[in-house]
Chain A
């Protein structure tokens, strides 16, 4: 089966700095893929180039067989790719329910009857925020804000969901809750790609890992094998694995 997202030879230079040096990566439909790497390895740049925040310097990205290289962020969303940001993000001045309503109003590729959460309230139920529906997003505690960020991305009915450090700033209990939610997504027809440097989280979430270092992919395979790879161990030497 062809991958849902195929990244080939993707590169990005910021002035003289090479953030991505020709990355090839395939995300298979229905999996939860982890992209790991130390700080500055190009993980977030990879996300930003795929989601249209930055234009790539070279290479191509195709989603479900369609070339989406260099599309603007809203067009990437219309194509069926949802994403969350490293900084927990919501429309702080608006109510939680209104946040989710907005997120569901600009869907182009409709999941139709297959959409697991037909209403904004159903989605708030899923992430456990229904009780806070009438609160302003800005007053939510950080953990709830992260869940709202996830709900917003899901409301846009993505076929592929990209999560950028989804558990950053969460305590252990909140992290476990988040992992529980993300693990359910493939069952709802949503493929997931997570980037993070938290190996504990990645081991909980992903069966397959890709490792970036200095803008290049240095390993890609089953989680256990990748974590035993000497090259990967070398990159993380001194870090806690």
Chain B
């Protein structure tokens, strides 16, 4: 309700994103830009996941499947209908949203942990369908997508330009997620997260809103998928199976799902940590696992939430009360 305060909460993200957009000025390597672009596409999906998990309290372990629906929709649209990037965006977002609804309607009837398993199963199912889809889905090899992305006549395929475009999409995703959090719709979702029974008693259609949140997260995922498909030029089922889904869940938890900085931090950290520490894929999986356990046990609001709390303790010196407050919501959840 206090718009001034709400706007202030968006400011740090915008500043960080402005800094990120300035990175090409320092002529980064192509490897850096590629990593950053794929991190960026993840962050877009993570902003959707933060609405679902952070606000509504529902965890999806099949989120990469929704990204995959967007990516495959873009590839098939380009191949069969000659549809380009900008038209594919809304269509793919819609496809992911519809897929989310189809998965959500039966899955959200079952509560809590069962939903996690259902999303996991649907994610696997999609990968199997794509792998066995013959020429239509390109089977295990996947599909190529070779269309230039142009914006106002300019070719965006150049790595730096594509990077900037992804940063713009990340910004849009962050603003959209922020707008949802600070709307009465976001409040309704939080009410469901905090206490479903009470929410229903106050006239909130819990089932429909849960499906709605899943559909909203699907829109973010679909857009992320289109950006990913056009960036990679080739997509295959394994990119959207269980491991990528688990990574997405891990990123949003490590960053902090409830704070607007969380998805950005989680996406960047998980993408660049193995690079910075020079880890091979097996080592990085171990590190991620340890990180996830540490975050769940020590930092329920994620890394950013932990940093914010630490700063608050350092500056105001009232750790106990804050700690109690932060502990409260998890106790109330059943």
A, B in one complex: yes
Residues of A within 8 A of B (CB): 51, 53, 72-74, 77-78, 82-83, 85, 89-94, 97-98, 101-103, 105-108, 136-139, 152-153, 155-156
Can you list 16 A-B contacts with CB-CB less than 8 angstroms, sorted by A residue number?
A51-B201, A53-B197, A72-B200, A73-B200, A74-B200, A74-B206, A77-B202, A77-B203, A78-B203, A85-B201, A89-B198, A93-B194, A102-B190, A102-B199, A102-B202, A153-B202
The one of B205, B321, B328 in contact with A74, judged by C-beta atoms closer than 8 angstroms, is B205
The one of B184, B188, B201, B325 in contact with A153, judged by C-beta atoms closer than 8 angstroms, is B201
Q: Is the CB of A77 within 8 A of B198?
A: no
B15 within 8 A of A: no
Distance in angstroms between the alpha carbons of A26 and B291 in the assembled complex = 59
Q: Is the CB of A139 within 8 A of B194?
A: no
Distance in angstroms between the alpha carbons of A51 and B200 in the assembled complex = 10
Name which residue of chain A comes closest to B328, CB basis.
A138
Distance in angstroms between the alpha carbons of A53 and B331 in the assembled complex = 23
B154 within 8 A of A: no
Q: Is the CB of B204 within 8 A of A91?
A: no
Distance in angstroms between the alpha carbons of A128 and B220 in the assembled complex = 43
Distance in angstroms between the alpha carbons of A51 and B199 in the assembled complex = 13
Q: Is the CB of B198 within 8 A of A106?
A: no
Q: What B residues does A51 contact at CB under 8 A?
A: 201
Name which residue of chain B comes closest to A84, CB basis.
B201
B58 within 8 A of A: no
Name which residue of chain A comes closest to B193, CB basis.
A93
Q: Is the CB of A73 within 8 A of B201?
A: yes
Distance in angstroms between the alpha carbons of A105 and B194 in the assembled complex = 16
CB distance from A181 to the nearest CB of B (A): 19
Q: Is the CB of A136 within 8 A of B328?
A: yes
Distance in angstroms between the alpha carbons of A141 and B8 in the assembled complex = 31
Distance in angstroms between the alpha carbons of A93 and B194 in the assembled complex = 7
Q: What A residues does B193 contact at CB under 8 A?
A: 93
Distance in angstroms between the alpha carbons of A199 and B1 in the assembled complex = 43
Q: Is the CB of B206 within 8 A of A91?
A: no
Q: Is the CB of B329 within 8 A of A138?
A: yes
Q: What B residues does A138 contact at CB under 8 A?
A: 325, 328-329, 331-332
The one of A72, A73, A94, A108 in contact with B191, judged by C-beta atoms closer than 8 angstroms, is A94
B187 within 8 A of A: yes
B9 within 8 A of A: no
Name which residue of chain A comes closest to B198, CB basis.
A89
Distance in angstroms between the alpha carbons of A136 and B194 in the assembled complex = 12
Q: What B residues does A89 contact at CB under 8 A?
A: 195, 197-198
Q: What B residues does A73 contact at CB under 8 A?
A: 197, 200-201
Q: Which 9 A-B pairs have the closest CB atoms?
A: A138-B328, A93-B329, A106-B203, A92-B332, A77-B203, A91-B194, A73-B200, A102-B191, A103-B202
Name which residue of chain B comes closest to A73, CB basis.
B200
Q: What B residues does A153 contact at CB under 8 A?
A: 201-202
Q: What B residues does A136 contact at CB under 8 A?
A: 325, 328
Distance in angstroms between the alpha carbons of A89 and B196 in the assembled complex = 11
Q: What B residues does A103 contact at CB under 8 A?
A: 202
Choose among A73, A83, A89 the residue with the greatest number of B CB atoms under 10 Å from its CB.
A73
B324 within 8 A of A: yes
Distance in angstroms between the alpha carbons of A238 and B230 in the assembled complex = 78
Distance in angstroms between the alpha carbons of A74 and B202 in the assembled complex = 6
Q: What A residues does B328 contact at CB under 8 A?
A: 92-93, 136-139
In B159-210, the 8 Å CB interface with A consists of 184, 187-188, 190-191, 193-195, 197-206
CB distance from A107 to the nearest CB of B (A): 7
Distance in angstroms between the alpha carbons of A78 and B202 in the assembled complex = 8
Q: Is the CB of B191 within 8 A of A139?
A: no
| Known contacts A89-B198, A101-B1, A102-B191; is-contact A74 B203 (Cβ 8 Å) | yes
Name which residue of chain B comes closest to A101, CB basis.
B187
Name which residue of chain A comes closest to B195, CB basis.
A91
| Known contacts A91-B195, A93-B194, A139-B325; is-contact A105 B331 (Cβ 8 Å) | no
Choose among B1, B202, B203, B328 the residue with the greatest number of A CB atoms under 10 Å from its CB.
B203
Distance in angstroms between the alpha carbons of A137 and B193 in the assembled complex = 14
Q: What A residues does B321 contact at CB under 8 A?
A: 139
In B293-334, the 8 Å CB interface with A consists of 321, 324-325, 328-329, 331-332
Q: What B residues does A152 contact at CB under 8 A?
A: 198, 202
Distance in angstroms between the alpha carbons of A13 and B23 in the assembled complex = 67
Q: Is the CB of B325 within 8 A of A102?
A: no
Distance in angstroms between the alpha carbons of A102 and B201 in the assembled complex = 12
Q: Is the CB of A156 within 8 A of B202?
A: yes
Distance in angstroms between the alpha carbons of A184 and B148 in the assembled complex = 70
